[in-house]
Structure 1
């Protein structure tokens, strides 16, 4: 299953957002794979600071469980100062509707 979504990076934090993802913790990458995530891409629209995410997940219910893992909560806390977040530091994220896909 393909999941697409959008988030927002804070003004002036675009380079820091990218830097932190380029240094992704191995335990975070392991968790993403453990919960069935593959082919994960995040792109930035530099004009609007909107982040567009794309990930393929094996099972949506299993993927949803990943948000409650300690490493994911730690990542949210680590990223909270560079992006728009909810009170629990989870990113403000809106799912996008996939309207076309070609393998």
Structure 2
């Protein structure tokens, strides 16, 4: 499994809405991610900046590119687009993060 980390940016005042939407994550979205090999997926919030830090594990990282084309993923992106920074295709504006320390 490869570990992938990235950061995203939440709009000011949208923390509770972001949390609510993820508390009610669509079962078909969760199933799609799990079936693609995504595991141990966490998103953390820095409340001082509204930055979101995500970490996930996946067996085949190239599958993330394929997932981005799936209608459920695209529907989720549009659903989330009003509360966070996005790209023109509605995907979250994200920055890959480099691992600089790991303690197994």
- Following the alignment from structure 1 to structure 2, what is the Cα–Cα distance between the partners of residues 64 and 40? 17
The total of aligned residue pairs comes to: 103
The residue aligned with 1:71 is 72
Determine if contact 1:67/1:73 at 8 Å carries over to the other structure: yes
Cα distance in 1 for partners of 2:101, 2:66 equals 27
Distance in 1 (alpha carbons) for counterparts of 2:92 and 2:98: 18
TM-score using structure 1 length? 0.97
Q: Structure 2: give runs of 5+ residues left out of the alignment.
A: none
Between the aligned partners of 1:100 and 1:93, the Cα distance in structure 2 is: 21
The answer on whether the counterparts of 1:2 and 1:56 sit within 8 Å (CA) in structure 2 is yes
Residue 36 of structure 1 deviates from its aligned partner by 1.1
**How far did residue 86 of structure 1 move?**
0.7
What is the Cα-based RMSD across aligned positions, in Å? 0.7
Moved over 4 A (4+): none
Give me the whole-angstrom Cα distance separating, in 2, the residues matched to 1:70 and 1:6.
23
TM-score, normalised on structure 2?
0.96
2:94 and 2:7 map into 1 onto residues whose CA distance is 6
Shift of residue 35 of structure 1?
1.2
Q: What's 2:58 paired with?
A: 57
Which runs of 5 or more structure 1 residues have no equivalent in the other structure? none
